[in-house]
Amino acid sequence: MVRFYPTFFKIVFSGMDAERAHAIGFAAIKACRQSGVSKVLRVLTAPDKSLRTEALGRVFPSPFGLAAGFDKGATGINALTDLGFGHVEVGTVTGQPQSGNPKPRLHRLVRDHAVINRMGFNNDGADQIGPRLASAHADLWHDYKERTRPIVGVNIGKTKVVPVEEAIEDYVHSTRTLAPQADYLAVNVSSPNTPGLRDLQHIDALRPLLGAVVREAELAARRHVPVLVKIAPDLSDAEVAAIADLAVELELDGIIATNTTIRREGLGLQSSPADIEECGAGGLSGEPLRKRSLEVLSAVRARVGADMTIISVGGVTSAGDVEERLQCGANLVQGYTAFLYEGPFWAARINRGLKKMRRLRR
């Protein structure tokens, strides 16, 4: 089945609109759970006990998880964890429902194993997604009674129609609504697809925003909810250092490095300039992001020291990529784009590879 998927993708999905292909593929994953197939999948794909990882005050079944963007509405958390992901980060969720940017807004560059998106935080809003998270958590506790359950993170961002000057209250509303159901919160100030959002990475704007989210998360959940900030790969080294210093100052629980990039370095080696131009504006993810993502990871770890959690994401495809990130200082690793190309058993294959590498090192 694993070797069959690239051929299946080429025949069925490669010529299809990327967003439609995503919807069909996600529906098939959720159908497996609804049909009861997931009970078998959980046995076949469950990460080995040797992969359990402590981070953010929790125990993750595996250091490898699914990044935000795949399950924007928290409609398939349990189905995705059945595939072997150690954690699933849902969202990005905004304070108000929004339809996102006009279609087409998701484009594949298959030969580069890359994606360009300008989705624009399309989601149902915090008030609708909160109850779904609560239901998913209840199901996870039931399904994983005797085992370490997968962790559910929630990525929050700014509603497009909300002015940047009112962004704090918008994030606070999402925090108030979602923190009680979240294992951790990721504050997204780095997507390139919401006008003005990346301006919130400036220290003077970021300090009060993160402080407000941390305070509201504690009040709303009546427990400690880890808060992380997700940063862009397009920041200068000085800006990365400044945000890392701020995270230490505010005693944040972690940093997620990195989001998608507006740059196009690394493309054109496989995809033609015409293909790239046809995709238009948006955030680039996938293998071309690998080098810069690693650079930011190393820079952040050097700046924050050993105690803060770092989640590395960007250009992750194989078990070797995951292990490389862990060796470079990441506590946890996420992927997304390669999921589209590698198929539903991608996470299980990575977990098997990690287990094998660790066994060989003994």
Residues marked as catalytic: 191
Residue in the block written with tokens 């504690």:
218
CB 111 within 8 A of CB 288: no
User: 48-87 burial, b for 16+ CB within 10 Å, e for fewer?
Assistant: eeebebebbeeebbbbbbbbbbbbbbbbbbbbbbbbbbbb
Contacts of 6 (CB under 8 A, 6+ apart): 341, 343
CB 263 within 8 A of CB 314: no
The angle subtended at Cα 230 by Cα 233 and Cα 314, nearest 5°, is: 50
CA neighbor of 90 nearest in space, from 134, 36, 143 = 134
Q: Beta partners for 310?
A: 255
Helix, strand, coil share (%) of the chain residues, nearest 5: 50, 15, 35
Contacts of 202 (CB under 8 A, 6+ apart): none
Tell me the CB-side half-sphere exposure of residue 300, using CA atoms within 13 A. Answer: 34
The angle subtended at Cα 216 by Cα 133 and Cα 261, nearest 5°, is: 70
CB 91 within 8 A of CB 155: yes
Pairwise CA distance, residues 333 & 256, whole Å: 9
Q: Which two tokens stand for residue 286?
A: 């996938």
3-state DSSP call for residue 217?
helix
First to last CA, the chain: 31
